[in-house]
Amino acid sequence: MSPPRPRFAPAAPRLVTESIDTPIGRVIAIAGDAGICVLEFLEERESPSSAAAFARRYGEPARSRADARLDRLRGELDAYFRGALRRFESPLDLRGTPFQRSVWTRLARTPYGATITYAQLAARAGRPSAVRATGHANGRNPVSILVPCHRVVGTDGALHGYGGGLWRKRWLLELERSGSPPPVPQRRG
C-alpha cells in the first residue's frame, strides 16, 4: 500500500485586489508579492476591470481577499485624506520601463505640498530634453497618490492632465497645501 498523498493548501494568489472608498471617489488597489502595483481612481461608469486588465498584462490572476498589504494601504490612505499623513510607507512594486521607473522614483521625492514642472522632472530624471516622454511616463504612473503625479504642473504653474480628473488634482494639491481636507466640489470639472 502506498503512503497517502500529502494535501497542500491552495497557493495564495500572487496579486490581490480591493476597492477602497476615499473622499474623492473609489480607488482600486492591487498588491503583488513585493508591494502595491496599482492604485487608481474608478469612475462611476467603470467597474473594477482595471484589476483584470492588469492581471492579463502580467499573466497573473488578481483576486479579492483579505491582505495585510492592502489593510496597511487602506489605513495610510485614510490618514492621508484626513491630512494626518505626509509620507506613505507601503512598499511599491512598480512595473514599467527603466525610464518610467526613473521618472517615478524622482517624482516620489517631490515633497508633500510642493509642485514640480514637467521640465524639472525631466531634468531630475537625467533627460532634460525629454519633457514629453517624462509627461508620458508621469501619465503611466500606476500608483496614483503614492507616487504623487498630481504634484506635476506645467511650466506656467497651470494644472495639466491627471488620470483621475483635474478636479481631483486640484483637491489633492489643496489638501497638501492646507493640511486639512477641502470640501469636495459638487460639480467635478
**Which secondary-structure segment (H or E) carries 107?**
helix 98-108
> Which phi and psi (to 5°) does residue 39 adopt?
-150, 105
Q: Cα 27 to chain center, whole Å?
A: 9
In angstroms, rounded to a whole number, what is the distance separating the alpha carbons of residues 60 and 57?
A: 8
Query: Could you give the C-alpha distances from 189 to 26, 28, 90, 141, in angstroms and in order?
Result: 17, 22, 31, 22
Catalytic-residue membership of 149:
yes
Catalytic annotation, pick one of 149, 152, 173, 175? 149
Active-site annotation, residues? 149
